[in-house]
Amino acid sequence: MGEARKLAAILAADVVGYSRLASADEDRTLARLRALRSDLIDPTIAVHNGRVVKRTGDGAIVEFRSVVDAVRCAIEVQNGMVERNAGLPPERRIEFRIGIHLGDVVEESDGDLMGDGVNIASRLEGVAAPGAICLSEDAYRQVKARLDLSVSDLGQTQLKNIAEPLRIYSLEVGLAAKAASAPRAEPVAPAVSSATMALPDKPSIAVLPFTNMSGDPEQEYFADGMVEDIITALSRFSQLFVIARNSSFTYKGRAVDVRQAARELGVRYVLEGSVRKSGDRLRITGQLIDALTGNHLWADRFDGGLEDVFDLQDKITESVVGAVEPTLRKAEIERARRKPVENLNAYDHYLRALPHVYAFRPDENLKGLELLLKAIDFDPAFPPALAYAAWCIEQRLTRGWSPFGRDDAGTAIALSRRALAAGGDDATTLVITGFVLVMVGRDYDTGLDAVRRALALNPGSGLVALLSSFAMVFAGNPEDALVQAERAMALNPLDPGFFLYLTSTGYCHLLSGRPDQALELARRSAALYSDWDSTYWLLVPAYTQLDRLEEARTALAKLLTLSPGITVSALRQLLPFRNSSSLNMILDGFRKAGLPE
């Protein structure tokens, strides 16, 4: 791939006085910087969907999807540094300067970024005060209506090696960024005890009543109904501890301090929002907050008309839940990763395993499997750990990776059945075990029964919809599978594993006689992640059905680099298609492309 030009939000950061710190105590300074990266900086970048483009010894260039994400990330890092520097003498403090710009950049084939967008961000960082964040006017314009910020206008400033002066804004840090909202009523005495409740042993969340900012009493019912739907939908995730509606609604109509409410309700995370009406249009905003740190993990807004208010309510609930659940999971994984090893329990080992499981690489898979087996040692009846361990082994079997044990198929099936027995009311456990029983055990009836139960328990989970679609397509129901595949894409459009969703949808189209649509989806999947072999199981037969043999051979050559020695007979054993005509159609495509028997 050659270079590509695009618009991007660029954050440049640098340590103030790094040479002085290093000359005073280089080893200690480097150790502190490494700890900051692993404990604060990298997790915060990940939560806000950033990508580290390059690092210098004392700084970094980071790309974000939006300026809002970049600014939130910068504020959380700077706030975190204030906490970490508390009590240290000035000469030992590590402080960052940060500059943020929205501009044109050129992405090189290796992922590096060049151009004015990067240069301006770097120059903005250079003029920022220690602990401050400087924004260009282009960047500030994107966030001034989205965040409550204390801002100093520094006026037109000539930056080094930048031809024209730029207007610059400096942000005051010390408080986490929050979504903009209208002034609320003065606080009243709380109706609940101010005693702090202990946190549960799994992710805990309260959904507070959304604020009606329209002045229209009719929207009160809409907002309350939507919050109730969100609470109900989140409650279907057995991995979450969700505060009941009656407790959350004691805060209705009151100015709420999120941290205080979280302490009183005994939760770590709080979801709050607002509803605003203009004519026959509604705007709903929501934000998810880690109440222990004050960090904002997610925020978004949704617009819609009032023609069908219940349909709008359903769509917003689905979107919010689809975003909140994976965001909570990511935050909990980062929290578990930072725990000392001696303090880990079954749940922590399970959380630590998930990033390795979802890496879909043999070495990472092995790390995930070992962590899951440790979780099972702590709690032999822990359903998610049993299910994910079975899935890890399924990956090793269907990918052709080196065996884990003497009878991997038997182990995967046994783990799945143990998970089913222990977690029959957990949608994630059900869908993973159902998928494994289809893929490894060829037990289509039990597998499909499990995924249908998972869908009934939690129709709002993107993972449940995704794995259900794979199980259904291999079990011979491509049209039913397509419904779930498209639902999965709608529920989780920003999933880093979105290539899986595209591949699943492509299989549905291919087996329903639409190879042109299957090809488009397979190519999009390969563009997102070119080393996922299952995509080529789809891409090769799609090309051959469209008589594009040269491209089919090119795709096959790529597959052979991922799965050396693969043959038609090996694929026959790997692919668990219940319908023999579907299997033969796939295999014939590989034969035409030149795969040996």
Q: Environment class of residue 18 by beta-carbon count within 10 Å: exposed (0-12), middle (13-18) or buried (19+)? A: middle
| Same domain? 507 vs 518 | yes
Q: Select from 295, 249, 292 the least CA-distant residue to 267.
A: 292
Question: Rounded CA gap, 577 and 579, in Å?
Answer: 5
| Same domain? 14 vs 33 | yes
Question: Rounded CA gap, 78 and 131, in Å?
Answer: 6
- 591: tokens are 């034969």
Question: Rounded CA gap, 175 and 83, in Å?
Answer: 11
185: in domain? no
Of 457, 490, 508, which residue is a domain's last?
457
| Same domain? 361 vs 453 | yes
Helix axes 533-545, 515-528, angle to 10 degrees: 150
Whole-number pLDDT of residue 569? 94
| Same domain? 145 vs 10 | yes
The dihedral built from the CA positions of residue 222, 296, 140 and 7, taken in this order, carries a sign that is negative
Question: Rounded CA gap, 279 and 306, in Å?
Answer: 9
Of 304, 328, 352, which residue is a domain's last?
328
Of 457, 481, 502, which residue is a domain's last?
457
Could you give the 3-state DSSP secondary structure of residue 147?
strand
The domain that holds 216 is classified in CATH as: 3.40.50.10610
| Same domain? 492 vs 581 | yes
Whole-number pLDDT of residue 391? 96
Q: Environment class of residue 306 by beta-carbon count within 10 Å: exposed (0-12), middle (13-18) or buried (19+)? A: middle
Question: Rounded CA gap, 487 and 426, in Å?
Answer: 20
Whole-number pLDDT of residue 354? 85
DSSP state of 170: E
| Same domain? 254 vs 283 | yes
The domain that holds 502 is classified in CATH as: 1.25.40.10
pLDDT tens for residues 163-175? 788 889 988 675 4
pLDDT tens for residues 429-482? 999 999 999 999 999 999 999 999 998 888 777 888 999 999 999 999 999 999
| Same domain? 71 vs 92 | yes
Domain residue limits at 570 = 459-597
| Same domain? 447 vs 477 | no
Helix axes 427-439, 462-474, angle to 10 degrees: 20
Q: Residue 284: in which H helix or E strand, if any?
A: strand 281-290
| Same domain? 544 vs 561 | yes
Total number of domains constituting the chain: 4
pLDDT means per 10 residues, the chain with 597 residues, are 78 88 80 79 83 84 88 86 75 88 85 86 87 90 70 82 84 50 33 44 81 72 75 73 74 80 84 80 84 81 72 73 73 66 70 85 92 90 91 92 92 93 83 96 94 86 90 95 89 78 95 95 92 92 96 95 91 92 95 94
* pTM of the model as a whole: 0.56
pLDDT tens for residues 582-592? 999 999 999 99
Q: Residue 212: in which H helix or E strand, if any?
A: strand 211-212
| Same domain? 357 vs 424 | yes
| Same domain? 453 vs 353 | yes
Whole-number pLDDT of residue 365? 94
